[in-house]
């Protein structure tokens, strides 16, 4: 018996919605990364992008446990001398809630071409409405 290897052309993709309101950032990110990678399928193949599309709504209502709201920092560097920009999680949640969730999920995906391809299937929205109704996404409950 040989190990099953899925081919790129045989991948069937579904759409899922995750409502992030009153959920922990890490729980939302791990579930989304798991689906984007395709590990929830029995046909999972590590070197093929066999994951599904993920839509995350209510990103502005996500929670952070402990004192992370004040202590956690997000760093960006422009590449120039003195070009470091530091923002706290509180600022990120207020002004850039989509980016906060995107960064958490992107760090959980593989690095390289395959990870970038998986990341393109992620859609994050700060509010409750999204523009992917035509794809008939299935809602996923996270405990």
User: Which pLDDT value is given to residue 56?
Assistant: 98
Owner of token pair 């992030």? 20
The rounded distance, in Å, linking the Cα atoms of 18 and 124 is 10
- For the chain, give the percent of residues with pLDDT over 90: 97
For residue 122, which of 11, 60, 39, 32 has the smallest C-alpha distance?
A: 32
pLDDT for residue 19 is more than 90: yes
User: Which pLDDT value is given to residue 94?
Assistant: 96
Domains of the chain (ranges; CATH) run 14-64+93-140 (3.90.1180.10)
The rounded distance, in Å, linking the Cα atoms of 76 and 25 is 20
Residues ≥6 apart with Cβ < 8 Å to 128? 19, 57, 58
pLDDT for residue 91 is more than 90: yes
pLDDT tens figures, 65-83? 999 999 999 999 999 999 9
Query: pTM, whole model, 2 decimals?
Result: 0.93
């Amino acid at each position: 018996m040989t190990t099953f290897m899925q081919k790129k052309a045989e991948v069937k993709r579904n759409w899922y919605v995750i409502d992030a309101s009153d959920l922990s950032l890490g729980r939302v990110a791990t579930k989304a990364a798991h689906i984007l990678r395709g590990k929830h399928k029995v046909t999972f193949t590590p070197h093929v992008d066999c994951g599904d599309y993920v839509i995350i709504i209510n990103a502005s209502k996500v929670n952070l446990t402990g004192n992370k709201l004040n202590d956690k920092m997000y760093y960006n560097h422009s590449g120039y001398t003195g070009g470091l920009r530091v923002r706290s999680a509180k600022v990120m949640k207020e002004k850039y809630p989509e980016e906060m969730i995107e960064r958490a999920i992107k760090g959980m995906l593989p690095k390289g071409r395959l990870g970038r391809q998986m990341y393109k299937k992620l859609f994050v929205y700060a509010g409750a409405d999204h523009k992917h109704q035509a794809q008939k996404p299935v809602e996923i409950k996270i405990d």
